[in-house]
Structure formats: structure tokens, C-alpha cells
Chain A
Amino acid sequence: MSTLLEVSGVSVTFDGFRAINNLSFQIGNAELRAVIGPNGAGKTTFMDIVTGKTRPDEGRVIWGEKSVSLLRMSEAKIAQAGIGRKFQKPTVFEDQTVQENLLMALKNKRGWLGVLFYRPSADDLDKVADLASEIGLKDELTRKSGELSHGQKQWLEIGMLLAQEPRLLLVDEPAAGMTPQEREHTTDLLVQAAKTRAVVVVEHDMEFVRRLNCKVTVLHEGSVLAEGSLDHVTSNQDVIDVYLGR
């Protein structure tokens, strides 16, 4: 399997505190990966680095077949290159309707002139409607997203992520605030999405990770502590000490 994203030797220091410490990580083209680790392990910071929000002090982040470095690209360019992100705290545009949110995310021209003259085609509206039914928000299309429940906002954000049609999805704690059925549905969606693209899921809930049934990377103090199947890492003594045993 060819590598889609390769992070190597990356370190980040905030005011002398080393949040990411010589981290290396790889993911292939159509792979599902779970990232677990205690609070403050650097999971979110890792996503910040890949998406261009935080610049590392050292290390390399290499993307795609052409092996371009993401370090010199802006957040917008990285997103255009095909990396989509779901935030830990659901962030949707609350003053705008579900449809507007999805249309903004939908894969289309991102330049200002193209956007200025853009009017949604029937095809685009169909795609939005399909996505909306997939995420259970079909009847809420014209509602402002600020009125949605916490779980629905999570869904909307997952929908926006899928609408972008990225090659790599970074998903930060998608199941927080969801009911057990919703969690199951989320698992299905992520597993489904990972058939055609790479998906990285950060999650605390072990049951959730077990259902994803994929390779697991354990982060601790900014670097990889263990990697492998869930059973493999959960039987690792280091992992038990720092994460599971607490």
C-alpha cells in the first residue's frame, strides 16, 4: 500500500513545553487508523500540524504521490490538496442553514471569483440532499445550524467533511455527545469512508475504537508509544501503565 501521508521526526514546543516530541506517523491511501492516548498526549496538536494550523519546530510532513511538503502550504491550500478535518468541539457555521453549511463544504471551486458567480446546480443540490439524509439531517436543511443539538452538529460536521471529498479525513473525537445508536452509525460511516480514502480517528472510547476494527496508534507525551491491532496495543505493558491502567 502506498503512503499518502508521512510525518517524520516532528517536534513542537509551546513556551518550553514539548507537546510533540520526535513524532513519526504514516498512513496509506485507503486506510482506517485510530489514534488513542491520554489527555494532553498531543493528538489534537498532531492534527494541527498536518492541517497547517501549527508549524512544527522540526521534522517533515510529506503528502501524496508527488511527495510535496505540507509545511510551507497555507491551511487553505492544504485543505484544497485533499485534507479534511473535523474538530473536537463541533464547529459549524451557526448563523447559516444546514444547506448553506454543506454547500460551502461541497467540493467545488474555492477561488473568490468562482464562488461569487457560483449558483448551486441541480446536481450539487442533489448531492447535498443525499449527504443530509446520510447524516440524518434531511428535514433540517433549511434550519440554522445553531439550533441543532450537539449530536446533530457533530453529524453536520461529518457531513461537511464528506462533502469536501478529501483524500484524508482527520476526525477528532467524533462520537462525543452522541447516543449509542448514533455512535454505531458514525462507526459505519467512517468504516465506509475509509474504503476509498484514508481516515484518522482520534477517540477515547475503547468500545468505539474496537468497532472500528483497525490499526491503532497510541500517543503519549507527544510521541508514538505503541502501534498495531487493538489487542496488541492493549496488552502492551507501557500502554497499560500510562493510559489504560489509570
Chain B
Amino acid sequence: MDRSFVAQNPSVLVFLAILSLFTLGVTILSEGVGIGVISTSFVKTLGKTLCLGLIAVAMDLVWGFTGILSLGHFAFFGLGGYMIGMWLMYERTRLIVVDSLAQAEIPPTSTEVVDAIATQVFGVVGSSEFPLIWAFSHSLTLQLILVVLVPGLLALIFGWLAFRSRVTGVYLSILTQAMTLALALYLFQNDSGLRGNNGLSGLQNLPGVTASQDVVSIWFLWASALALGLGYMLAAWVVSGKFGSVIRGIRDNEARVRFLGYSVEVYKLAVFTLTACIAAVAGALYYPQAGIINPEEMAPIASIYLAVWVAIGGRGRLYGAVIGAAFVSLLSTWFTGGQVPDIPLGFYTIKWVDWWQVLLGVSFVLVTLFAPQGIGGLFDLWTNRHAPQRHGAALGPDESALREKEATE
């Protein structure tokens, strides 16, 4: 990344500056290492929000820039979480087992230790043996590699099959939903090897770490901020050059890109796989902060929310995706957390816990209809950029093409 990259993309610098200030500010105000204004649980919420910002960047790359409306990226996010969760659970259980067996007169053999861990971990699904997929769970390094390898490989295979047969538009979206649903249903089974609907839990406890959650939450906040910063720079770099031109061309008019000699399928596959890996990294940082992961997290609806965040934030501009994800998910936490006062109408009381979804749905429809440039469009008012005057014509013939109001002059 050379100087000209930053020079040509001043918004990257602004974004990184705001992200750093935010992280620093939260740290100073935190319970763990600062003056105690922000509770540890809220620090975790903010850390998780940064991870959601990162997967939103991935979604914007694949949908906003390449025009592939994937409704399956939360599957990759969840898989990333599972991969790191396996090590966290294994290692923490191992420490407990070793500790308790240390009391015994005869020192335990290593098979005894492994068996004891397996009984602890899989007792809940009536098993006492490690399934094959846990073969590497003893090694942090290997599981970290799997965090990107497993979702990346799944994306590569799925994408290869889908793009090769030129499935596009709505059909592709449905296919990604089907993939997500199949994966979630599989994981719900007790013999899936990942503890069925119990999922993996206790992930907030880092094995061998004695620091309190107050401090650990700050570590994760910083790690999430770092990942978001790096992911954002990577995405901005990817879209800045000719590669960005080609993928935006694919979004607006993929047939034309083919006739220029670019193999559209390969480009789509590259973007799909790269963004799956970014989503997986986001998930691997998210779930240790959430403490638990279960198949519910990978339900198809989660991936649809992701598309809603990016649409509300503004498709095709990276900062818009982050803002959309942060804004909507924090608002959702607030509404569903029960802090918002109910509105008594006399004949009916609006309980926000129930009505929040409706509100979100309605805002999504309104944004799509009346302000397709989303929250990110507010920055255009500020920098005085306008949508082109095209009398309603989109910027290309494809279904995914940028619409008149989404574009800038």
C-alpha cells in the first residue's frame, strides 16, 4: 500500500482516525482499565459491534461492489466462531481436568486426560468421544488456521459450483440461503460433532488467563478494532484500483466485462471467498466476546439482517456499511434490551421488544424506496456531492446495478 493509495482515499484515514479515537475513548471510560463509566458488558457489546462492522465491510465488498447479494455470509461468520470456540472449549476443559486429576494418586495418562475432556465436553449430547473434526482442537495455531481455511474452502466450493453455472440474481441469493439453512440444520443435530443446539459455551474464559473479564473485554475491543481497521484498509485497497473497476463493472454489466476478456466467474469466486474469510475472522473475534455460539446464530435470518445493515448504511461505500451495521445493531440492542419505555396507547401498549422488528422492517423499506444511498448519503450532503440526473435509469442493465440515487456524479 503506497502513499498514493492513502492520498487517493482520504476517507480511509478519516475512518481509521475515528476508529482509533473510539477505541481509545472506550478504553479510558471502561471499567477494566479506565475510569469506570462504561460497564464491562457494554464494552463487550461495543467490541462485538466492531466485529459486525467488519462482516458488513465484507458484505459490502461482495454485494455493494460486486453485485452478488449473498444471503449466507453469517454462515462463514459462525463457522469462524466455531473454529476458535473448539480450541477455547478444549483447552479450558483440559486445564480443569488436569487440575482435578492432579489430586489422584496415580498420575493420569494422556489418553485418560483426553477421555475426561471428551466426557466433559460431549456429555451434554450423550457422547464421550471426540469426533474427527476435533482432531486439531488441542492446537491454537491449527484452529486459528482453520478459522479462515474452513469457511474459505466452503465458500470456494460453493462459489465454484454456483458461479460456474452462471447462477445470478435472485436465484443465487436463494442458493446462498439454502446453504446457510442446510448448515444450520446440520449443526442442530446432536451428532454433528459440535454439540447440537447447545453449541459451544464458556468462550469468554480464555484458558490460562487470570486477568478478569473487565480487562479481557478491553483486549478484545482492541483486537476487534485492529481487525476492523485492517479489514477496512484491505477492502479499500481492493476496490481502489483496476480490480475495483472490474468488480464494479461486474455489478453493473457483467456481460460487457466478459467481452473485455475478464473471466467474470473467477473474479466473483475470488471476491466471494475473500469476503467469506473476512467474515470468518470477524466471527472468531465476536464469539469469545459473546461467550456462546450455537446454530441459532447461523440461521438464515442473520444473513438477511446483514444485507439490511449494509442497505441502511449505504451500499457501495465501505464506511456506510460499517455505520449501518453499528447503528442498526446498537439500536437493536437498545430496543430489545427492554430499556426503551413502552408506549401505552390505551387500547394497546407498544412493547418495543416485540415491535422493534417491525420498525426495522419499515425503515428498511423506506430507506430502499426513498433514500437508497442510506446513512452514508448524509456524507454526500456534507461533501456536496450529488446523484447524477439520469431520469430514473440505473447505471447498468444488470439487476444488481447501482441505481440512479445510489450513484454520485
Q: Give A contacts to B, CB under 8 Å.
A: 51, 53, 74-77, 79-80, 84-85, 87, 91, 93-96, 100, 103-105, 110-112, 115-116, 118-120, 144, 146-147, 160, 164
- Find out whether the CB atom of A144 lies under 8 angstroms from the CB atom of B396: no
Stretch of B182-190, B208-216, B259-267 at the chain-chain interface: B259-267
Residues of chain A within 8 A of B397, CB atoms compared: 91
- Find out whether the CB atom of A146 lies under 8 angstroms from the CB atom of B388: yes
With A104-B242, A116-B241, A146-B395 known as contacts, the answer to whether A95 contacts B259 (CB < 8 A) is no
Residues of chain B within 8 A of A75, CB atoms compared: 255, 258-259
Residues of chain A within 8 A of B402, CB atoms compared: 95
Interface of A is mostly: mixed
Residues of chain A within 8 A of B259, CB atoms compared: 51, 53, 75, 79, 84-85
- Find out whether the CB atom of B245 lies under 8 angstroms from the CB atom of A164: no
- Find out whether the CB atom of A95 lies under 8 angstroms from the CB atom of B407: yes
Q: Which of A53, A104, A110, A112 contacts B249 (CB 8 A)?
A: A104
Flag B221-243 by CB within 8 Å of A: 1 or 0 each: 00000000000000000100111
Residues of chain B within 8 A of A110, CB atoms compared: 260-263
Q: Which of A80, A104, A146 contacts B246 (CB 8 A)?
A: A104
Kindly state whether residue B409 has any CB partner on chain A within 8 Å: yes
- Find out whether the CB atom of A164 lies under 8 angstroms from the CB atom of B253: no
- Find out whether the CB atom of B266 lies under 8 angstroms from the CB atom of A79: no
Which B-chain residue is minimally distant from A112 (CB atoms)? B270
Q: Which of B2, B252, B258, B263 contacts A93 (CB 8 A)?
A: B252
Kindly state whether residue B3 has any CB partner on chain A within 8 Å: no
CB distance from B250 to the nearest CB of A (A): 10
CB distance from A171 to the nearest CB of B (A): 13
Which A-chain residue is minimally distant from B394 (CB atoms)? A94
- Find out whether the CB atom of A76 lies under 8 angstroms from the CB atom of B249: no
List of 8 A-B pairs having minimum Cβ-Cβ separation, nearest first: A79-B261, A75-B258, A76-B263, A80-B261, A95-B395, A94-B395, A116-B243, A110-B261
With A93-B248, A94-B395 known as contacts, the answer to whether A115 contacts B242 (CB < 8 A) is yes
With A76-B263, A146-B388 known as contacts, the answer to whether A96 contacts B258 (CB < 8 A) is no
- Find out whether the CB atom of B264 lies under 8 angstroms from the CB atom of A76: yes
Interface centre among B248, B259, B266, B267 (most CB of A within 10 A): B259
Which B-chain residue is minimally distant from A107 (CB atoms)? B261
Residues of chain B within 8 A of A100, CB atoms compared: 245
With A76-B262, A104-B260, A105-B260 known as contacts, the answer to whether A112 contacts B245 (CB < 8 A) is no
Which B-chain residue is minimally distant from A94 (CB atoms)? B395
18 contacts between A and B (CB under 8 A): A75-B259, A79-B260, A84-B259, A85-B259, A91-B253, A91-B256, A95-B402, A96-B245, A104-B245, A111-B263, A111-B266, A112-B243, A112-B267, A115-B241, A118-B241, A146-B388, A160-B260, A164-B261
- Find out whether the CB atom of B388 lies under 8 angstroms from the CB atom of A147: yes
- Find out whether the CB atom of A76 lies under 8 angstroms from the CB atom of B258: yes
CB distance from A92 to the nearest CB of B (A): 8
Which B-chain residue is minimally distant from A80 (CB atoms)? B261
Which A-chain residue is minimally distant from B264 (CB atoms)? A76
Residues of chain B within 8 A of A74, CB atoms compared: 258, 263
Residues of chain A within 8 A of B396, CB atoms compared: 93-95
Whole-angstrom CA separation of A96 from B260 in the bound complex: 15
Residues of chain A within 8 A of B255, CB atoms compared: 53, 75
Residues of chain B within 8 A of A111, CB atoms compared: 263, 266
Q: Which of B241, B248, B260, B266 contacts A164 (CB 8 A)?
A: B260
CB distance from A14 to the nearest CB of B (A): 17
With A95-B248, A95-B252 known as contacts, the answer to whether A103 contacts B242 (CB < 8 A) is yes
Whole-angstrom CA separation of A95 from B252 in the bound complex: 8
With A74-B258, A76-B261, A110-B263 known as contacts, the answer to whether A96 contacts B248 (CB < 8 A) is yes
Whole-angstrom CA separation of A115 from B260 in the bound complex: 13
Whole-angstrom CA separation of A74 from B388 in the bound complex: 35
Whole-angstrom CA separation of A164 from B243 in the bound complex: 17
Whole-angstrom CA separation of A96 from B241 in the bound complex: 12
Whole-angstrom CA separation of A91 from B257 in the bound complex: 10
Whole-angstrom CA separation of A100 from B395 in the bound complex: 15
Q: Which of B2, B246, B395, B407 contacts A115 (CB 8 A)?
A: B246
- Find out whether the CB atom of A79 lies under 8 angstroms from the CB atom of B388: no
Which A-chain residue is minimally distant from B4 (CB atoms)? A119
Which A-chain residue is minimally distant from B266 (CB atoms)? A112
Further pairs besides A79-B258, A144-B407: 12, Cβ < 8 Å: A76-B258, A79-B261, A91-B253, A91-B256, A93-B245, A95-B402, A104-B245, A104-B246, A110-B263, A112-B243, A116-B238, A146-B388
